Amino acid sequence: MLLEFTMTMTTLLGKYFFLRDSANNPEGVVRDSRGLWTEYDFIIIGAGSAGAVVANRLTEIAEWNVLLLEAGGDESFLGQVPAMAADLQLTERDWQYQTETMDGQACLGLENKRCLWPRGKMMGGTSSLNYMLYVRGNRRDYDHWASLGNVGWSYDEVLPYFIKSEDNQNPTLAKTKYHGTGGYLTVSESQYHSPLGDAFIQGGLEMGYKNRDGNGKYQTGFMFAQGTIRKGHRCSTSKAFIRPIRKRKNLHISMNSHVMKILINPVTKQAYGVQFIKRGRIYQIHARKEVILSAGDTASPHLLMLSGIGPADHLQEKGIYPILANLPVGQNLHDHVALGEIIFLIDQPYSLKEERVRNIPTILNYTAWGGTPLSMLGGVEGLAWLNTKYADPTDDWPDVQFHFIGSCVTADRGRSVRYSHGVSDAVWEKYYSPIMERDCWSIMPVTLRPKSRGYIRLNSADPFDKPIINPNYYDDPYDVKVTIEGIKLALQLSQTSAFRKMNSKFYAMPFPGCEGYRMGTDAYWECWVRSYSVTLAHTAGTCQMGPDSDPLAVVDPLLRVRGIKNLRVADSSIMPFVPSGNTNAAAIMIGEKASDLIKHTWLAQ
């Protein structure tokens, strides 16, 4: 009964902050525009991490009329409370995608041997569903993009777009040339730090790493995580970029609008509008200038293929006609897949167990000043970038990232995180139930530059049929090897004096399915990695950007779809290689840069 009461209180808190936290918007909600026109200058598909930014920046030009389409509704009340991030997954605000099974390569310990694939279906898109971590990646990532022929995408050229969006609340970081203040997007640390978080930073120092800003001059090191949070509450791109400008007369918003296809003239190969369905009615609305596709790494390639743009043989097989451009849409799918967690048990009451987070005093304190465990970024307190034996220690381009969590999947007693990861009942009962009452902390090690590549394909020509998603995790042995070295670094961290003071010990129960391997061997670690594989939703590459010479390029460096006029893609799907870190900040940067590219095209005429 007490748990149900505190859950209700938490939801009401989320509603309160949802309604309160919105500059220039007393109601605190985004509403559908009254009546839709038959024609706009620009139509943006998707109000997510990039699309919300594009809508904001294009409507700065008063004479341009913009229609923003979103398949879902407004943000979730509960989603405003950062610690409740996992609770949003598998709800109506999540597309609820799943991967295919992968022939024994990954996700073996999860339900039906499939990984879940959470993606936001609401205003703000996945920025309203994710764990809010603000990470840009490494300088070398963007310089690599530019070296491939993507002119204008080097680190020095994209850094101003990161800074433009940002309103960093850390005064020390805000003074550096790598951060901005006054932008729409609030970035800050959680106002709560645990003793475990302090041990994480101290342990990194003992390992020889520095405590530094991973978004600054150097990446390698340990830091308290920064996230897209405002006064302890989620700051999605809808809250940051749409709510303050929702009353602009040249912006129309249509939610619960499921786009069925992009309208393209088969003779001129020019995009001229979109077809979507809303409350049972089908609309066809035209675009005088451009259609901008910002539906994300999964839905953008899906929509392109439904519209006749993609691999010709595949489109013919699925009955898509006419085929307007034979392009490698859906190829080059890659992601930061992680080992679900490495658990360490402690004998101190420091972990973020549910009874310490969801209780009346914590909730009341959160209401007053936001600085309780409820402000934690989905439970993630620290981040680190480290070098395995496969990385060059003299180069600031680490190959593994740690997500440090001051608890483990049992912290909520199997109520939400277990299901958001897709852990099967059999694994839960055998592996997790025995430590339900224990204090713990955990690490998710991430291979930053995976070599494995998968694909997204059509299930059918039905726009309501979810696409086929096969990320092909761990197909390349390199990805497993780096993850294994990440496990060894996590074990090394647990043995630092900072954690030994808490009597920290690795939870050495054999993971179900891996009992036949000797604990501590690379063979055992590989079995574990392939069993408990979890996406971090850092997917990239499915509408890859590249020059004419790139056989995998779907869009050019100006983000224009090849062979189709007046159609661009602006979201994480255009990344040729995923950055070395969480991707939401990079998606927002892409929205900023895309807006300038579009402005330059049409204002120059």
| Positions marked active-site | 538
Residue 507 CA to residue 523 CA, distance in Å, equals 18
Q: Are 202 and 496 in contact (CB under 8 A)?
A: yes
273's torsion region: left (phi>0), alpha (psi -120 to 50) or beta? Answer: left
Burial of residue 317 (number of CB atoms within 10 Å: 0-12, 13-18, 19+): exposed
The H or E element spanning position 275 is strand 270-278
Q: Render 114-136 in DSSP notation, one character per residue.
A: --EE--B-BTTGGGGTS--B---
In this structure, what token pair is assigned to residue 386?
A: 């480290």
In the beta sheet, which residues pair with residue 287? 40
Q: What 3-state class would DSSP assign to 419?
A: helix
In this structure, what token pair is assigned to residue 282?
A: 């089908």
Burial of residue 31 (number of CB atoms within 10 Å: 0-12, 13-18, 19+): exposed
Residue with tokens 């070599």: 451
In the beta sheet, which residues pair with residue 270? 265, 565
Q: Are 108 and 102 in contact (CB under 8 A)?
A: no
* Residue of 349, 369, 371, 357 lying closest to 192 (CA atoms): 371
Residue 471 CA to residue 451 CA, distance in Å, equals 11
| Sign of the alpha-carbon dihedral angle for 166, 168, 174, 179 | negative
| Sign of the alpha-carbon dihedral angle for 360, 364, 367, 369 | negative
Q: Are 552 and 247 in contact (CB under 8 A)?
A: no
Residue 531's Cα: distance from chain center in Å?
22
Amino acid in position 15: K
